[in-house]
Chains A and B, each alone.
Chain A
Amino acid sequence: MTGDLARLLDGPAHGLAAAVSAREVRARDVAGAALLRAGRSRERHGAFLHVAGEDAIEAAAEVDRRVAAGEALPLAGVPIAVKDNVHVAGMPTTAGSRILGAFVPPEDATCVARLKAAGCVVVGKTSCDELGMGSTNETSAFGPVRNPWEPTRVPGGSSGGSAAAVAARAVPLAVGTDTGGSVRLPAAFCGLVGVRPTFGRVSRLGLVAFASSFDQAGPLARHARDAALALEAMSGADPRDATSLPGASPDLLSRLDDGVAGLRVGLLDDEEGVHPDAAAALSATARLLASRGASLVPLRLPRLALGVAAYYLIAAAEASSNLARFDGVRFGARAAGDGPAELVRATRAAGFGDEVKRRVLLGTFALSAGHREAWYERAQRVRTRIALDLGEAFRACDLLLSPTAPGPAFPIGEKSGDPLSLYLTDVFTVPASLAGLPAVAVPAGLSRERLPVGVQLAGPAGSEALLLAVARELEAARGPWTAPPDVIR
């Protein structure tokens, strides 16, 4: 790999796109170099489940032709990785599960098609928790992903492979999906910017459905500008997703350097169960924002703590319904059974891992006759209460600042036998998911063990431009992005 290519891949996506647009470097050479890094990232960290081949080179050559023809592409030649629960035409989709067998989607997810239209080249599919259900990437049927900051630790989940690939500099950008925190948590554990958009901002067409009232795709990046560019490209109405928001993509770039002067930042004072290093990073971030002209508004929202229960009950209920499609008949894997019903039960028993079974059973229970009112409907009422509480909070402040996770990445295996303790890892991320609000995970320095800690910025519906501008300001205040020790070269 030439020095120029290595330097471009180490740098931001917007710099790489500028170089390809100016025809200083060919997209096909960038793709070739990124494919080598993706292969190494698969070997070293288990971040990729599938690395593209000649198809990616051909796609990059097409980008070169479009650039030569004078097309302006905001992400010209940027190699990206896509979480394996998001369809890329012609590449296998496993979603980290055995239930999908050898499934190959015939078309791109809408968000992937839009990224390709903006000039991106998909170099591979990244590992994730099975069907998006997990916070550590350990529930993948194909093995854990290692955190490039400390390979004995989890990268977070469920978009753990996407986060590990971007943190290790295999690619400058990746697509993740966020149901209860699955973009933000791995972003925090790997020292990245990760965006959960307003519900409906990004089409869900082509995502393997987990919980349809929560699922959103979002970008993971090392730089706020790259996250903004990617989200802008992914967004927009889609007639094939009934919950997609009407209208064109929001403008996320023109206000990116607006700063934070005059902003009211709500600060949640509940630090119960928060690791001292995460609490220190939160305080330092608040001071930094105040020093740049923001005002701090202390807030108490005690009912947010109920979010984990409400989220897990509703998401599991939706999953139990969505996953009914895995029947061993229409697509995916199949186990033998004497009759159709036996075939379905055997297929699901063999195809689903433990965590998926837990959630399908939890959701089936919450929806079942005699329990529905006490659990599912109660959880829906708590969901509405939390959305109302957040709406009230956003009258007193423009955004809410909290930790993204209660602490930094923990060792692989430490919590895998304790589902409840894993669910509680999501305590800060689920409120925005429940209310359909956007939230951005932003790096906030390193712990004493030199592991990334993040903060989360959550705002009212449609506030992505504001949140990314705050992320950009924090990034500018902190200086250049810190690379992990185990980068891919």
Chain B
Amino acid sequence: MARLAAMDVTDGEAARLAEELSRVLDHFDAIRAVPDDLLPPVPDAPPAPLRDDVPSSGPGERAYVAANAPERARGHFVVPRVVSRNG
């Protein structure tokens, strides 16, 4: 689960979190005991209203987006090298 959530956890953390979450899920199991015919089907998400497709002159500029980046260069976000030089 930690890998799916893109989050490192130590072995000690994993054991503790697993124990805590097992207790929580044991309690939450009550929703699986509700007779099926009492529950309506899974609802469809309501359609999101659409707004007019007009360009914004407000925030959304590159500087706005990048202002809080931990590392940036020449208007781009910097990340560790993806492909090695000799790869």
Contacts and interface: CB of A to CB of B under 8 A. Distances in A.
Q: Which residue, of B40, B67, B71, B82, has the highest number of chain A Cβ atoms within 10 A?
A: B40
Nearest to A419: B20
B15 to A, nearest CB: 13
Contact of A334 (B21, B31, B71): B71
Contact of B28 (A102, A104, A313, A364): A313
Contact of A309 (B31, B77, B79): B31
Nearest to A213: B45
Given A106-B59, A330-B69, A381-B41, A352 B7 contact: yes
B64 A106 contact: yes
Interface in A80-124: 101-104, 106-107
A334 B5 contact: no
A385 B38 contact: yes
Q: Which residue, of B41, B48, B79, has the highest number of chain A Cβ atoms within 10 A?
A: B79
Interface stretch (A189-197, A335-343, A469-477): A335-343
Contacts of B38: 303, 385
Contact of B5 (A305, A328, A360): A360
Interface size class of A (residues with CB under 8 A): 35 or more
Given A103-B68, A329-B69, A368 B40 contact: no
Contacts of B39: 378, 381-382, 384-385
Contact of B21 (A102, A104, A337, A362): A362
A339 B39 CA distance: 46
Contacts of B27: 309, 420
Nearest to B43: A384
B31 A310 contact: yes
Chain A contact surface mostly = helix
Given A330-B77, A340-B79, A309 B28 contact: yes
A274 B21 CA distance: 25
Chain B contact surface mostly = loop
A97 to B, nearest CB: 14
A343 B80 contact: yes
B49 interface: yes
Interface string A349-384: 100101001101110110010000011011111111
Contacts of B1: 361, 364-365, 368
Contacts of B23: 419-420
A154 B28 CA distance: 26
B6 A380 contact: no
Given A239-B51, A330-B68, A357-B13, 13 more contacts: A102-B68, A103-B68, A107-B59, A312-B24, A329-B69, A334-B70, A337-B80, A339-B80, A339-B81, A345-B7, A348-B7, A377-B42, A378-B31
Interface of A: 101-104, 106-107, 239, 242-243, 303, 305-306, 308-310, 312-313, 320, 324, 327-334, 337-346, 348-349, 352, 354, 357-358, 360-362, 364-365, 368, 374-375, 377-385, 388, 419-420, 423
The 7 closest A-B pairs by CB, nearest first: A334-B70, A331-B68, A349-B8, A309-B28, A381-B39, A348-B7, A364-B5
25 contacts: A243-B48, A313-B31, A324-B6, A329-B79, A331-B69, A332-B68, A333-B70, A334-B70, A339-B81, A341-B6, A345-B8, A349-B7, A349-B9, A354-B17, A361-B5, A362-B21, A364-B4, A365-B21, A379-B31, A380-B43, A381-B41, A382-B34, A384-B43, A385-B34, A420-B23
